Chain A
Amino acid sequence: MWNMLKTFFILEKSNKRNIFACISVAIFVFGLMFFVKTEDLGNAVKEKSGEYQSLSSALSQYQNVDATDSGNGSNLYKNLVLQQLLVSKQRMAIKMDRPELFMDAAIELTDLRTKSFGMEGFDNVESYLPSKIENQLDRVFYDYMNQTGIPLSIDSLTFFQFLSYLFVVLGSVWFVFISIYTCGIMIEDFQHTSLIKGYPITFDKYVIAKSIATMLIVGVFIVEIFIFSLPLLYFKGVGNPSYPIPVFDGVFTVYPIYKYIGVAILYMIFISIFTILLSVILNVLLKNMYLTLFVELLLFIVPMLFPNMMNLIPYNPFNYMNYSHLLNGQTPDLANPVVLNATHGLIYIGMSIVLMVVAVKIFLTTGKLKRV
């Protein structure tokens, strides 16, 4: 086994695929930096003026009337007027650099929004307001900030702030990247089946060794992400590693950035192992790397095309392949709400990995292999 691994490393070292995968990871990291910079993400002034505009257009649906408590406007109208007032207060607080005022207004705003969801006529103004889930995420975020007194971050390009954003984006593309990277994992060997048959170890051991070697290279990619983000340390500073990120994990809660990154990396490792084994099995069955890729991508998007399936088969590991969707609570917001839990996801993916390893051990032998 150890000798096999060494052989693989010698082979993989000169494989152009690895070099280009490394370059694409680097381009992804640097590209994201430019994206964050040009889009000016996390610019509170810009966000708040957008919010103000949305509220104005929500209010334009109503006649202007007396919005005081004794006035004759509807409850929702009064609520919206108050929301607009609070957003203005927040804009003012940012300009005047009064974070505590901003925070108070933010908490009051989420309270008002929570109330507004049940009010009569809410359907008409729904599109101008954040969804229930987004509001709840905001709520836990600001509550936590208020309790701990962490200052509000304004620069989204400091090291940890950027990493947190990077891992959110990675959540959606990691499975796709790994399936493109691994879709041809066995094909090159299948072009010379006599070679495999000549190895002094059994086929399942060979597969496991190959998977371990690939997995180690994937580990290199993950390390690479951190290394290429290092320049930000110099240019923008460290940022706060315990800055909270609101997540949905069965309940609404916050993860500090380091915990979010930890969960993300755990998921990425599980997804990588899962995809590698899936690629191996599909390679053996289909004997074509592009067909493998297409099947994997189709399996990936089926839960998005038919969201009702998630309700029907909650243990389908493909429901959990996009961990940032999972953690930002998009699944309970669907027409047919389904509560997908991040921990359960890891268990289901883990079980599928075990099943696939067993399948490789039982069903795959060199005897039946044919040259592609």
Chain B
Amino acid sequence: MWAYFKLEFFQFMRNKKNIAIYVILLFFSCYFAIKIAPTYNPIEKVEVNEIEARYETREEFLNNVVINDGTHHLTRYAAAIFPEWNEYDKQRLDAINQNNLKEYAEATYKWYAYSDNMIFYRGGGVLYYNPGYYTFGNNYATMDGHFGYLYNASRYEGYTEVNSDLTINIFEERTALQTLQRLLNSYLPLILIVSCILFTVDIVLKDRRNPTLLQGLPLSDWRKLMVKGFVSLLGSVLAIIPLSVGLLIIGVQNGFGDFGLPVPIYIADDIFSNRMMWEYLIQNMLLIIFWFSLIISLVLLASVTLKNEFANLFVASVLVLAELMYFNRGIGAIKDFHWYPTSYVQVGQITSGYRNYLYASEALTFGSGLAIIGLCTCMFLFFTFLLSNRRKFKLL
């Protein structure tokens, strides 16, 4: 068994296709670190001018406003809510001018919490979130802003309790670990899963070229399949190495961040709770490995039944892309899409709870993801096991 594992692993590593995938991943991670990451422009920046402009306009209004019987109700409203708001803005300004980042985090946390409360529940079409959310064609800008402000409130609250040094780069989520966190929320899981598909797609069928060589091995077909699956799981996990090169480059430029930094997790009903960075990354890693197993078991099953590489590619990509067909914002409130394994393909968004927010559901959690994906993997493996134990079965 061990000898066969070594044989398969060396074949895997010397496969031109697999080497090409590693090289391409390396190229993309460097391209990202050098060309795309520096242009990252977060909506919620640490910008003194913006705070100052807002603070001074409101302060001037508060100093000059005269409230009497004829005052417009919106003016009264503004006069009622601006004092507290401005108090937070003033604290932020003072803290950033004295370079006291801990205090800035404290004031900013309160500012975001207060702002969201005002804009979302009492905005009434006159108060808006940061204009960065309202881009042309975005019909869900208010919902995005709501999520963004609560997320930031939770994040800054976490910074007040963190022991490590704070920097502006941490506030703007530019450090290497935070970049990784952001990428996990967008297309990194898809890149990893697609690489896994490409690694696995020919692992069984490549033996068709020299079938006689392998017929003499004293191993059952099922065990051979397991070894092959394990090799491609290992290979897929190794894809992290070329990707981490880009992370190193970002780390040198913007700092590495800290494993103790808070990552806000959306629970339900506008409640966030913070998790440590390392905890969040381990959860993601675990869920991605479960995804790898699901993909590999599916491709193994497809390999022994359909016996065509193109068919493997097709079946696996349907699994990855199926969510596009039914996903719609808020659809989770109507239908139970959390039973579909395909709903969990955006791994980072599942663990951070953002997917729950998009689906308007509470069931798309890390735990249910593990359970459903694990269950599907077992199912596929079981079918493969049954098939491979039939008397007529031929591996190739």
Contacts and interface: CB of A to CB of B under 8 A. Distances in A.
Interface string B281-316: 000000000000000000000000011111101100
B136 A130 contact: yes
Interface string B344-387: 00000000000000000000000000000000000000000000
B326 to A, nearest CB: 7
A226 interface: no
Interface string B6-19: 00000000001100
Given A53-B134, A128-B136, A288 B326 contact: no
Contacts of B141: 53-54, 57
Nearest to A187: B309
A370 interface: no
A13 interface: no
Contacts of A58: 131, 134
B198 to A, nearest CB: 7
Interface stretch (A34-42, A88-96, A213-221, A239-247): A34-42
B139 A128 contact: no
A57 B133 CA distance: 9
A64 to B, nearest CB: 10
A288 B21 CA distance: 13
Nearest to B31: A305
Given A35-B324, A290-B17, A57 B131 contact: yes
B345 to A, nearest CB: 15
A280 interface: no
Nearest to B328: A38
B132 to A, nearest CB: 8
Interface string B23-44: 0100000010000000000000
A19 to B, nearest CB: 8
A368 interface: no
A48 B17 CA distance: 48
B309 A184 contact: yes
A60 interface: yes
Interface string A11-38: 0000011001101100100010011001
A21 B309 CA distance: 12
B264 to A, nearest CB: 25
B17 A288 contact: yes
Nearest to B27: A298
B138 interface: yes
A38 B139 contact: no
Given A31-B324, A46-B139, A50-B137, A291 B310 contact: no
A5 interface: no
Interface in A128-185: 128-130, 180-181, 184
A3 interface: no
Given A20-B314, A38-B328, A291-B20, A61 B131 contact: yes
Interface of A: 16-17, 20-21, 23-24, 27, 31, 34-35, 38-39, 46, 49-51, 53-54, 56-58, 60-61, 127-130, 180-181, 184, 191, 288-291, 294, 298, 305, 372
30 contacts: A16-B310, A16-B311, A17-B311, A20-B310, A20-B311, A31-B324, A34-B326, A35-B324, A35-B325, A38-B326, A38-B327, A50-B138, A51-B136, A53-B139, A53-B141, A56-B134, A127-B132, A128-B131, A128-B135, A128-B136, A180-B313, A184-B309, A288-B16, A288-B17, A290-B16, A290-B17, A290-B20, A291-B17, A294-B20, A372-B209
